[in-house]
Each structure stands twice: as C-alpha cells, then as structure tokens.
C-alpha cells in the first residue's frame, strides 16, 4: 500500500472483507489531491452557458464514481475535451477544456444518479437553458441535504420564469431561451443552491440576487474569488 500499511482482502459470499493490522508504522509520502468534480461543476456550467467561454480546469478527479455530471452534460451536447490524462496517487486525473455549448434536454440515466447527487442543483440550472425538457428522477436523496434541494431549486427557477414540475423524488425542467432573473433567491443557507444561482445570474436578463453567500464557505471558501477570475460579473447587492 502507498503508506506501507498491511491490508488483507478476501472475497466472501457477500462481496469482499478487508482486514487492517493495528498499530502499524506508516511511511510518510507526498500526496497530490485531485481537483474536486463537484466544485468544478459550477465552473463547467458557467462556461457552457456564457457565450464565448473557453476555459481549462486542471487535474480533475476522473474516478467513475464521481463523473456522472460530466457524462450527463455530454449527453446534453456539452463541448468538453478531456486532455492530459494521468494517474495520481491511484486516482485517474485529467484536464477539462470546456467551451460554450448549445444544450438539449435529456432524461438523466438512473445509473448515474449516485455519482452526481451533489451536482443536480447546478444541472437544473443548465436544464433551464437547454432546448426541451430535462427529466431528473430517483433523486429523493436531495430532500435531505443541507436543504430540500428539489424544492429549493424549483422555487428559485420558477421565480426566474422557468417552468418546473417536481415531486418527492423527481424534477422536470423545461428549458427556455432567456431566463428572466431580476429576483432575490432564497438559498435556504445551502451552499450548492447559492453557487448554482450565482451561475445562472451570469446569463439572466436581469441580475439575480442571492439571499446569502456565507454558506459557500462550508465547501468552497474561495469560490467567489475564483469565479471572478474567469470573468464572472458579481457585486455586493447589500451596498446598492
């Protein structure tokens, strides 16, 4: 093992059993942590939506259990190049080049839901601008996140003029060419709701105001700074 630990694995009737010996002396190693696909999803979404965008996000973790969002947006027509593939500390890693794209609505495959459960809020933002309907089903887990994310996103999108149908474990978003905006969106103190509507605000006809941004620090403290670096138009509405 990478740190020199002794781990034994045996196949059982129910899968695999792993045995770890206690009180081992481990070897110090340098570890490179790949970039988080969930955090990257907001930059991917913004680039896909904003005309003229062409950005590269480096060293993204490409583990199959983490890239459901990438697979779905590609089904929607996203122009994403996967470059510089490599393996770092046992994880597949790559650079993603993302360009503005015209998207179409899709039915999200059920087998991808688990690998993108945190990305559904920002996916629903992309769905708002896609041609046709995007159907997201088997997503009941979203109701027990930092907020009821099905309800949070549906309410915010409806405020912005987007047609949304939703229930206990599904959401269907009908895309429109232009999102109205001009609303104060309640984030319900949920970082992913806040970041998703910040993304949508970049293409709305009128500015979108966010009820708070402090929740963002729970997962991505540098989000606002990094988002501005790629050209995002953000301002503090409390001073206006």
95 flagged as catalytic: no
Tell me which of 118, 148, 169, 190 is the catalytic residue: 118
Burial class (CB in 10 A: 0-12, 13-18, 19+), 129: buried
Dist CA 132 CA 206 (whole Å): 23
Q: Report CA dihedral (176, 180, 185, 190) to the nearest 10 degrees.
A: 30
CB count within 10 Å of CB 94 equals 19
CB count within 10 Å of CB 213 equals 16
HSE at residue 99, side-chain half, CA atoms within 13 A, is 6
Which residues are catalytic, by number? 118
């Amino acid at each position: 093992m990478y740190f020199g630990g002794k781990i034994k694995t045996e196949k059982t009737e129910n899968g695999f059993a792993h045995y770890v010996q206690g009180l081992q002396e481990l070897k110090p190693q340098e570890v490179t942590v790949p970039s988080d696909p969930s955090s990257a999803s907001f930059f991917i979404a913004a680039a896909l939506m904003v005309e003229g965008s062409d950005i590269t996000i480096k060293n993204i973790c490409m583990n199959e259990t983490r890239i459901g969002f990438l697979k779905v947006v590609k089904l929607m027509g996203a122009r994403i190049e996967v470059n510089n593939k490599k393996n770092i500390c046992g994880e597949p890693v790559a650079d993603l080049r993302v360009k503005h794209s015209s998207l179409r609505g899709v039915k999200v495959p059920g087998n991808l839901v688990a690998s993108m459960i945190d990305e559904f809020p920002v996916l629903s933002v992309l769905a708002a601008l896609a041609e046709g309907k995007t159907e997201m089903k088997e997503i009941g887990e979203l109701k027990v996140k930092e907020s009821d994310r099905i309800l949070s996103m549906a309410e915010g999108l409806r405020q912005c003029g987007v047609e949304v149908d939703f229930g206990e474990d599904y959401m269907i978003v009908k895309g429109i060419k232009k999102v109205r905006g001009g609303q104060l969106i309640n984030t319900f103190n949920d970082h992913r709701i806040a970041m998703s509507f910040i993304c949508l605000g970049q293409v709305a006809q009128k500015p979108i105001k966010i009820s708070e941004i402090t929740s963002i620090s729970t997962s991505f403290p540098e989000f606002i700074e990094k988002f501005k670096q790629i050209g995002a138009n953000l301002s503090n509405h409390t001073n206006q």
